[in-house]
Chains A and B, each alone.
Chain A
Amino acid sequence: MALSTKIKNRILGLLIGVLAIVIGGSFAVYNISTWKNSSQQNIGSWQTIGKDKDVNSNDLLSIAQIAVYATFPLTKKEVIYLNANTDSDGNPIDPKSDYVIEGKKFDARYWSITAYDQDGFLIKNPNNRFSYNFENVKYATDSTSYKINLSATEKAENWLPTTDTQKVSLVIRLYQPSDSLRNNLTLATLPLIKKIK
């Protein structure tokens, strides 16, 4: 028995409604996964929250992205976070290549540079070394500058391993930065990520 026009229209309405819900939800999931939003500020390889934004802003997309990829951060009053997935030439950081992270100590109460794997977790390595910070990094003779070796191959000094991972991202944490640092986050104040080989 052929369906009446009314029933056909209702089925069509239901299918279109379900499709609309799936499209709307999927687009949201896709946007969350890109980790890009209007609250971000780019400084060379590094991304951070924009000057007039914060991690608990009213921007739904930012809040969703932070919840998924950087859960439970502190606001800018306490910490500034910067992350990088590319080197200073703009190419994705390759865990099989060698890099040098070159920088100077930050004017903050505590600072660190940490490497994470493709899922945002610490990278398994034979030295259980996941980061360098203001106390354990070996400085150059000027006691201010440092070079951290980001590599899968062991290095003699300041080796930050990228063994056993498909991708690498870096996060800088600046706890209680000075006002001058807070207001002057520029290419000159942030480390370079240079590919060596």
Chain B
Amino acid sequence: MYKHIFSKNNRVLLSELVRTDFKLRYQGSVLGYAWSLLRPLLIFVILYVVFVKFLKLGNGIPHYPVYLLFGIVLWNFFNEMTVMSLGSIVGRGDLIRKIRIPRWIIVISSSLSALINLFLNLLVVSVFMIVNHISLTSSAAWLPLILLEIYIFALGLSFFLSAAFVKFRDLNYIWEVTMQALFYLTPVIYPLSRITNLKLQKLLLLNPVGQAIQDARYVIVTKQTTIIYHVFANIWYMLIPFVIVVAVLIVGTLYFRKESSHFAENI
């Protein structure tokens, strides 16, 4: 099974699908790939002006602009990956109905596209860090693991969503709204310390995306970030986000596997 997953045919196909995705994404737009960088930057500017300049949300957090941008980039990755994967199976219906390829390759390929975008955006973040004189500490070594956590969480959701969307075509609208709600339930634009209700603070940090974004800020931007370690005394509570991630991955993968053999007739 595992030998099969990384077989030459699958690797070849995966890289070609990612390449195609990338070529097609900004097809016909004047600025092309630059939009991958411009989009989060412009969103950052808007949120920065509204929340930092007008509402003064970031008071008390050093390097708040970088803190904010980093959060937006990570959130965007999570959002983009789940949204793109959701439509990936249905969008590739032409392939699924005509050729025998492992179905999961399609979901993985759109997840890799999102991942590539994330790395481009992280380059922008690092430029901002240099401008703001933020130097990396040894704790930055945790970042890959934190990114992996977000990726795996998003992947589990992607498998579930892409398979469910074949049957329930309302799902994309539902997911869009869910993501909007989740955006505000995740400490992306506001510092968690602003929430004075400690119970609520704890609750928000049980969300794997929120926990991961806070951890990433903590290890990269500033130690004044509130992370899950600060709000729970009991180590078992701290494991909850990771349990959620693993559970979502297992459920998503199993559901996808169960449904995938019938994709061709249901699309």
Q: Do A and B bind each other?
A: no
